[in-house]
Amino acid sequence: MGEEQGPRSRPAGLSERDLAVLAMERREWPSAGVKERAIREELDMSPARYYQRLGALLDDVRAVAHDPVTVNRLRRVRDIRREAR
């Protein structure tokens, strides 16, 4: 039988950076400023680029297959924010 894919295995097509973005979203943050600092320091990305990448990942079936709990939670948040506009 095949090995189950969990949040730590690397599915085909997702880059190390994609996996790092998803891992960052699994963490709890005391404030937005702390998270933005971590994005810059740990991922060497601007927050704007990070959120662009995250948005693309939320629509990527490979990301859903890799970490369905995180991706589906973020999709729900995105949908609620869109409806509020």
Predicted confidence at residue 85, as pLDDT, reads 84
Average pLDDT (65-73) is: 95
Asked if residues 14 and 8 have their Cβ atoms less than 8 Å apart, the reply is no
Tally of domains within the chain: 1
Q: Which residue has the tokens 């991922």?
A: 43
Apex CA 39: angle with CA 47 and CA 62, to 5°? 85
Average pLDDT (44-73) is: 96
Q: Which residue has the tokens 């629509």?
A: 59
Q: What percent of the chain has pLDDT over 70?
A: 86
The residue with greater pLDDT, 85 or 15, is 15
What pTM did the predictor assign?
0.81
Please report whether residue 11 resides in a domain: no
> What are 12-33's pLDDT values in tens digits?
689 999 999 999 999 999 999 9
Please report whether residue 50 resides in a domain: yes
Please report whether residue 1 resides in a domain: no
Average pLDDT (34-54) is: 97
**Domain range spanning residue 56?**
16-84
